[in-house]
Amino acid sequence: MSATAERTIAHPTTPAHPAAPARAEVADPGPLGLAAFALTTMLLSLANAGLVGEAGATAVAMALFFGGLTQFAAGLWEFARGNTFGATAFTSYGAFWLSFWWLRTAPELAEQAGSVGVGFFLLAWTIFTALMTVAAAKTNGATLTVFVLLTLTFVALTIGDLAGASGATVLGGWLGLATAAVALYTSWAGVTNETWKRQVLPVWPRA
130-169 per-position pLDDT tens digit = 999 999 999 999 999 999 999 999 999 999 999 999 999 9
Provide the residue ranges of all domains of the chain, joining segments of one domain with +.
Answer: 28-196
1 CB neighbour count, 10 Å cutoff:
7
35-82 per-position pLDDT tens digit = 999 999 999 999 999 999 999 999 999 999 999 999 999 999 999 999
79-135 per-position pLDDT tens digit = 999 999 999 999 999 999 999 999 999 989 989 999 999 999 999 999 999 999 999
- Nearest to 37, CA basis, from 134, 123, 147: 147
The amino acid at residue 146 is V
